[in-house]
Every structure is written in C-alpha cells, then in structure tokens.
C-alpha cells in the first residue's frame, strides 16, 4: 500500500463510557444512548481498523500482512516482527475505569504462555493476558481530564489515611509508619487488597463517613464519594488517597509505564500505547480481578505522576516525548494559510482530526484526502512525503525514528 487511506474504526461499548463524547466527536447519532468508551485505531487482533484501499474497506491487519514494509517501513517491520507496534485510541470516560496496572514485556510473555498452556480461551472473562506484549501508554486530554496515577508520597498517604481510616486500618497504618519504604508500602497494599470482604466493607464505610466532613477542603474526598456512588463497598474507593489525583487541562498529557497503578476517572482524551490489551485490575470493576497477579506486577514506589512536556518539532507540530520505543504522540495545529509538511524520514502514521478539518496531500501523487472532525487516516511509510493544511487540530501516532 502506497497511498493515504481513510480508516473505519471500532467503538468499544464498555460500561464506563460516555454516551455522548465519541458520537459528538464523530458527528454520529447514538439513539440507544449506549456507553461508547473507546475508539480503536490500529491493528490489534481484537478490533483492527479497516482502510479504504482500491475502492474497498480492507482490514489493516491484512494489509500489513501482505505488504509489511510498504505499510510499516523497513525498519519498523524489522524491529517489531512485521506488526504495527502501537494502538491509538480516543477514550471517553463518564465513570471511573478500573484501578489497574500493566505487565512489563517479560511478565506479559510469561503470563501469555502460562495461560495458553492452561488452555484458557483468549476471550475468557477470567483471562489476564490476551497477548504477549507490554503496554506503556500516554494520554493527552481533549477536555478537562481527571485521573489517578502512581502511589502518592507515603507521608501524604498516611495523612489522608489518618483522617478517614484511623480506626479501621490502625494496625496497617502503624506498620506503614514504622517502615515508610517500598517494602512497607507493598506490605500495606497487600494487606488492604487481601483482607476479607467483611473488614473491607467496614473500612470503606468508615472512610466514606469521614470523607464527608472534608469534601469542601480537597477534591480527593469528593472523588472518594463520587467513586462510591458507582462502586459501593469497593476497596478501590480508597484509591484517591493512595494514588496521585491529577486534573489534566486540554493539551496536557501523562505517561504510564509497566507496573504503575492508575485509573482514569472522567474526561475525553487521546490515548496511545503499545499494541496490547493486557490489564491487571485492582477494583472499581465488575470484570475479573486477580489480586495475586496484580501484586506480582506492581511497582511499589511513591512518586509523582509523569507529565509529558510537549516540544516543538517542526512548524505547527508539538511532540510529546516519552521513553516508549513503540510510539510517539504529537499534535498538529492548523491555521488558515499555514501548511504542515511531513519530514522525509518517517514511519507509519495514523492521524485523527479532533477539531475543524484538514486536507492531506500526497506529494508524489498529488492526491488529496479530506479529514472532517472525527475522521482518521493511515499514512503508510511508503508515502514518501505529505502535507496537511486547513483549520483545525490533528493528533498523530507514529513510531519514533
């Protein structure tokens, strides 16, 4: 494939999704008011995009399989075993997502092999590893976006715990005070996740009762109560006091690596990650929760969330640098009369227009592809160079060169 191709993408209807945000972005109706949580752009086997190619809609998986070097580029095809290494998403959270973490590459390969040996079907509800890849990810806010990311400082955690759980978690709080280290944090969180349901319910009830006293002082307590509305008696209600609570403004982005506990709470954002669907959950979900496996992959370090600072690349483009080898996120802001010109040395890219409209021009063939708001396109590596003009905003997924 040597041409720019429009994409048709799958919408995942998870329970926490917004019934309005993605339909509004795409200019589509949602008459049944179903929760539309994620728009997937890429070649994950669970929901590959379809590409407009020679008058037909063809699976991106099939196109890559037939012409990996043309689509991916020779270097990317070689480095990632003829696979598109990233998965690009629009994420729309109306309710909190599950508390979760992702395995590193070694853990993912071992876990996938282990569950295959046990002959657990890939679509089984109790399966942890649906592929053999890791899942570093970044998220850039399109609207104000609330999230939880990484364990907060142990001193801050203890301050919150003593306000809301001084009685119910007295032994665990004392133990954490005695050893305010990574090992102490691991022991504390393990005790919290492993206690019997009756005691968990008592701890949650105490925490919520106390949190009501402080809601005017701190959004942490407000979020505890909001989470409890959707997930009563879930120990995940304590997550806003255990993890860093952050509010991203539009254009701000965070990065999450393997083993980092996190949850997205509310908002619309662009998400870019390694091409994986491996999730270990720790609460706030009706889905499978495997506490021992979650504890095995978690990194018990208290540190601030990683905000990505965008850097100017070329005219009209800002890049969000991250340590990921599989992906690079950037945003192209188009003003009337201006034109973005792609670099010569580039990889396979996916563009989505999130505001306004854009025209993509292939320099070699001089063919044009129109992107209205919500539309997306694949730019194969075989397209030597292209330009973008119009008035609007486009987010771009690429492989770092």
User: Which pLDDT tens digits describe the chain residue by residue (401 residues)?
Assistant: 789 999 999 999 999 999 999 999 999 999 999 999 999 999 998 899 999 998 899 999 999 999 999 999 999 999 999 999 999 999 999 999 999 999 999 999 999 999 999 999 998 999 999 999 999 999 999 999 999 999 999 999 999 999 999 999 999 999 999 999 999 999 999 999 999 999 999 999 999 999 999 988 899 999 999 999 999 989 999 999 999 999 999 999 999 999 999 999 999 999 999 999 899 999 998 888 999 999 999 999 999 998 999 998 877 899 999 999 999 999 999 988 788 999 889 999 999 999 999 999 999 888 999 999 999 999 999 998 999 999 999 999 999 98
253 & 363 share domain: no
Partners of 358 in the β-ladder: 371, 390
Residue 281 annotated in active site: yes
215 & 277 share domain: no
pLDDT at residue 54, as a whole number: 87
Residue 280 per-residue DSSP state: E
22 & 100 share domain: yes
Count other Cβ atoms within 10 Å, centred on residue 62: 14
106 & 254 share domain: yes
Does 59 fall in a domain?
Answer: no
Partners of 121 in the β-ladder: none
233 & 171 share domain: yes
291 & 338 share domain: no
Does 126 fall in a domain?
Answer: yes
Which range marks the domain in which residue 140 is found?
Answer: 5-49+83-148+248-295
135 & 208 share domain: no
Q: For the whole model, what pTM was predicted?
A: 0.94
3-state SS, residue 156 = helix
3-state SS, residue 113 = helix
Q: Are 346 and 398 in contact (CB under 8 A)?
A: yes
3-state SS, residue 49 = coil
pLDDT at residue 383, as a whole number: 95
Considering 281, 296, 355, 385, which one is annotated as catalytic?
Answer: 281
Does 88 fall in a domain?
Answer: yes
CA 327 to chain centre: 13
């Amino acid at each position: 494939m040597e041409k720019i191709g429009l994409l048709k993408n799958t919408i995942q209807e998870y329970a926490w999704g917004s019934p309005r945000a993605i339909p509004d972005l795409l200019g589509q109706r949602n008459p049944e008011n179903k929760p539309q949580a994620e728009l997937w752009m890429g070649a994950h086997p669970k929901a590959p995009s379809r590409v407009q190619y020679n008058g037909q809609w063809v699976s991106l998986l099939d196109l890559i399989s037939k012409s990996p070097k043309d689509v991916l580029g020779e270097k990317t095809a070689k480095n990632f075993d003829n696979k598109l290494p990233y998965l690009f998403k629009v994420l729309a959270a109306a309710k909190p997502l599950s508390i979760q973490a992702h395995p590193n590459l070694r853990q993912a390969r071992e876990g996938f092999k282990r569950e295959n040996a046990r002959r657990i079907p890939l679509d089984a509800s109790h399966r942890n590893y649906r592929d053999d890849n890791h899942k570093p990810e970044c998220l850039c806010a399109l609207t104000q976006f609330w999230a939880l990311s990484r364990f907060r400082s142990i001193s801050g955690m203890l301050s919150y715990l003593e306000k809301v759980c001084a009685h119910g978690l007295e032994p665990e709080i004392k133990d954490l005070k005695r050893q305010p280290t990574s090992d102490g944090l691991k022991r504390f969180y393990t005790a919290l996740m492993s206690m019997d349901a009756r005691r968990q319910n008592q701890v949650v009830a105490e925490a919520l009762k106390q949190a009501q006293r402080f809601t005017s002082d701190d959004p942490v307590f407000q979020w505890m109560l909001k989470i409890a509305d959707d997930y009563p008696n879930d120990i995940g209600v304590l997550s806003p006091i255990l993890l860093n609570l952050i509010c991203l403004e539009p254009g701000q982005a965070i990065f999450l690596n393997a083993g980092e506990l996190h949850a997205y709470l509310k908002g619309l954002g662009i998400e870019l990650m390694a091409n994986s669907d491996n999730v270990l959950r720790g609460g706030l979900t009706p889905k499978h929760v495997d506490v021992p496996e979650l504890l095995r992959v978690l990194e018990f370090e208290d540190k601030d969330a990683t905000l990505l600072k965008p850097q100017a690349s070329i005219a009209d483009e800002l890049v969000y640098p991250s340590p990921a080898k599989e992906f690079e996120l950037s945003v192209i802001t188009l003003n009337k009369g201006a034109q973005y010109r792609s670099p010569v040395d580039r990889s396979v890219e996916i563009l989505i227009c999130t505001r306004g409209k854009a025209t993509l021009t292939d320099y070699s063939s001089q063919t044009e592809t129109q992107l209205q708001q919500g539309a997306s396109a694949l730019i194969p590596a075989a397209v030597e160079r292209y330009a973008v003009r119009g008035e609007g905003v486009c987010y771009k997924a690429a492989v770092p060169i």
